[in-house]
Chains A and B, each alone.
Chain A
Amino acid sequence: MGFKEIVKRFLGYRGTIATATVVKEGEEERRLSGYRFYLDYLIKDRVAAVALAIITLFTAWSIVEGILQYVGFATRHRALGWALLPSNPIALNFAESLKPPSLSHFPAYIFGTNFSGESILSRLLYAAPKDALAAYLVVFSGIIIGMLVGTFAGYFGGWADEVLMRVTDAFLALPGLVLAIALSVLLGAGYNSVLISLILIWWPTYARFFRAQALSLKSRGFVEASKLSGQNSLMIILRHIFPNSVDPVIAYAALDFGNVILTYSTLAFLGIGIQPPYPEWGSMSSNGLPYFPQNWWWAIIPGLVIMTVVVCFTLIGDRMQDLIGGRLTY
């Protein structure tokens, strides 16, 4: 196997595919419906399949661990939160302080320990549900708010559209991170205030996107036809505009989960969000800052974990954008 083949295998590329049409031998054409089509293609693509597997694992773990933590808090048995973990993520044990990654006490110390002797692996696993929840919640509420606001503004036009464009202009004039910092500091410390500020700043991009879709769809033949046949606007939006504008946004959203995780963990790195002693990927990394570079694992390993998860989301999003064959415009 030559270099070319290896790289091709590694990246799983088969040239550019312009449309979502699968052509089989003998001229039989079939168009798979949205999700089936994506899934079908992504599973065949090795790298994307690995990325998909990692994301599935991350999500599944987050759900299980998240439920355990929630039930633990609700029933005042917090230990339930670390029942599945190699060790208690918030138990101080200074005897094991600052152990480098090793195979002893497998698997608790494979990522080493921090100053308080807590296993970094346990802390990473314990914090995962928070990142997953942030990513899914922020993106989905962004899509929902953006879809409602953007579609109606684009479809009806006029002053509502003008106001929407100006408001989103103002939001997009600021880097998301800076606005998120300002908002969450004003809202006060805590996980919820970070979630609220992320949701507040995340929708304008989607509103712009859905607006553009509505604008181009409303002059298309099938929408004109429904208008002429006397359907009311609400029905047209529900039947035609929404379903047709969601498809391309899925690819962007896949990529966006990664963006949320990056912003969320950067906020955590700056000390905004979940407060000690509870762990959080970004803040774990920043807590290691004073011990850097002697105890490099403390700062670097959480960063690597964030990167792995984000790369997987980016990769899936990128492949999906290739598949639908277009860059998004908004």
Chain B
Amino acid sequence: MSVLEVRDLVVEYSTVYGVLRAINHLSFEVGEAESVGVVGESGSGKSTLGLSVVRLLPPNARYAGGSIILDGQEVTRMSNSEARRIRGTTAFMIFQDPLNSLNPVKKVSTQLLEAVEMRCKKLGETYDVEKATREVVEKIRDVRIPDPELIMERYPHQLSGGQIQRVIIAMALLMRPKLLIADEPTSALDVTIQAQVLKLMNDLKKEYGMSIMLITHDISVAYNISDRIMVMYAGELVELGSADGVIRSPMHPYAKALIASIPRGVMRDAPLEPIRGSPPNMIHPPSGCRFHPRCPFVMDVCRREEPREVHQDARVVRCYLYG
């Protein structure tokens, strides 16, 4: 049984300039203890996807169709109080900017204990400060911070970006969610710290067996910790398959281009190919396949009609080149 099942989801924003469809008929699922990397450029709707799973969409956004089934419950039609119940213990989301992710006026310990308190309330456990403190210390150690007691007495501005991101991962561990959604958890960090945090997430995934949905613009980050990768373009799924499969033999022209544009280590003569053109206007998207203005293999039919999803084994691709 899958932890998250998204079916035909449509999410729209109303803006000053018109209606913006950020997610257009998207379907996929995340299995138990599975990690899925969601890859796309900024504006592709990947962050909106994360927020819509935990029902934290901004006020000008709405679910315009489809369904999100999280741990057997329908999210799109939930009341606010029902949504509160699924947040944290069922799904937990961590955000991009570490410098803004913790409340600046409260100590780290207060914020982590709050998480334990909320979990206890939801799962009907009794909350005991001393026991909770011990648990917090243990979890901070689990995220490889050497001096838990010292960190707990600090305020967020006294921590580095990497430390904050670890503290937030510790918070996620304290909440024991079934699904962890990580929105660009490493983008704001230095490269070396990035690698450490990724390794940490990888270890914890194995240790705790939680499902992870990793949202990133960097396909190599997704490859590092995901079992499967979903590539999004302009709010639509373009390719979905096993991480190895998508990286080694991408099918969709956009996925191909994305992989060709990764700088490969220190090899200087490897060809580096940028994707031509610019991201689409999401209020007036291109007709037919949304990628067609930038596609090197564009055909007549691409301009006229939207392509359907083609299923090949465990691979999904939306392109007229296949099927």
Contacts of A15 in B (CB 8 A): 15-16
> Chain B interface secondary structure, helix, strand, loop or mixed?
loop
Q: Does A40 contact B (CB under 8 A)?
A: no
Contact B16 A27, beta carbon cutoff 8 Å? no
Q: Does B281 contact A (CB under 8 A)?
A: yes
CB contacts under 8 Å to B, within A1-38, are 14-15, 17, 23, 26-27
Q: How many angstroms from the CA of A289 to the CA of B16 in the assembled complex? A: 50
Contacts of A26 in B (CB 8 A): 284
Contact B281 A14, beta carbon cutoff 8 Å? no
Which one of A14, A17, A27 contacts B284 once the chains associate, using CB atoms below 8 Å? A27
Closest to A16 in B: B16
Contacts of B17 in A (CB 8 A): 23
- Shortest CB–CB separation between residue B13 and chain A, in angstroms? 12
Contacts of A14 in B (CB 8 A): 16
CB contacts under 8 Å to A, within B5-38, are 15-17
CB contacts under 8 Å to A, within B268-323, are 281, 284
- Shortest CB–CB separation between residue A21 and chain B, in angstroms? 10
Contacts of B281 in A (CB 8 A): 27
Closest to B60 in A: A15
Chain A window 71-107, contacts with chain B (Cβ cutoff 8 Å), 1 for yes, 0 for no: 0000000000000000000000000000000000000
- Shortest CB–CB separation between residue B279 and chain A, in angstroms? 13
Q: How many angstroms from the CA of A23 to the CA of B20 in the assembled complex? A: 14
Contacts of A23 in B (CB 8 A): 17
CB contacts under 8 Å to B, within A184-200, are none
Chain B window 49-88, contacts with chain A (Cβ cutoff 8 Å), 1 for yes, 0 for no: 0000000000000000000000000000000000000000
Contacts of B284 in A (CB 8 A): 26-27
Q: How many angstroms from the CA of A26 to the CA of B281 in the assembled complex? A: 10
Q: How many angstroms from the CA of A23 to the CA of B16 in the assembled complex? A: 10
Contacts of A17 in B (CB 8 A): 16
Contacts of B15 in A (CB 8 A): 15
Closest to A15 in B: B16
Q: How many angstroms from the CA of A15 to the CA of B18 in the assembled complex? A: 12
Chain A window 207-251, contacts with chain B (Cβ cutoff 8 Å), 1 for yes, 0 for no: 000000000000000000000000000000000000000000000
Closest to B16 in A: A15
- Shortest CB–CB separation between residue B53 and chain A, in angstroms? 26
Q: How many angstroms from the CA of A39 to the CA of B15 in the assembled complex? A: 23
Closest to B17 in A: A23
Q: How many angstroms from the CA of A41 to the CA of B284 in the assembled complex? A: 24
Closest to A23 in B: B17
Closest to B281 in A: A27
Closest to A17 in B: B16
Q: How many angstroms from the CA of A26 to the CA of B15 in the assembled complex? A: 16
- Shortest CB–CB separation between residue A249 and chain B, in angstroms? 26
- Shortest CB–CB separation between residue A67 and chain B, in angstroms? 44
Closest to A14 in B: B16
Chain B window 163-203, contacts with chain A (Cβ cutoff 8 Å), 1 for yes, 0 for no: 00000000000000000000000000000000000000000
Q: How many angstroms from the CA of A26 to the CA of B284 in the assembled complex? A: 8
Contacts of A27 in B (CB 8 A): 281, 284
Query: Knowing that A27-B281, A27-B284 are A-B contacts, what are 6 other residue pairs whose CB atoms are under 8 Å apart, sorted by A's residue number?
Result: A14-B16, A15-B15, A15-B16, A17-B16, A23-B17, A26-B284
What are some 8 contacts across the A-B interface (CB < 8 A)? A14-B16, A15-B15, A15-B16, A17-B16, A23-B17, A26-B284, A27-B281, A27-B284
> Which 8 residue pairs are nearest across A and B when measured between Cβ atoms?
A15-B16, A23-B17, A27-B281, A14-B16, A17-B16, A27-B284, A26-B284, A15-B15
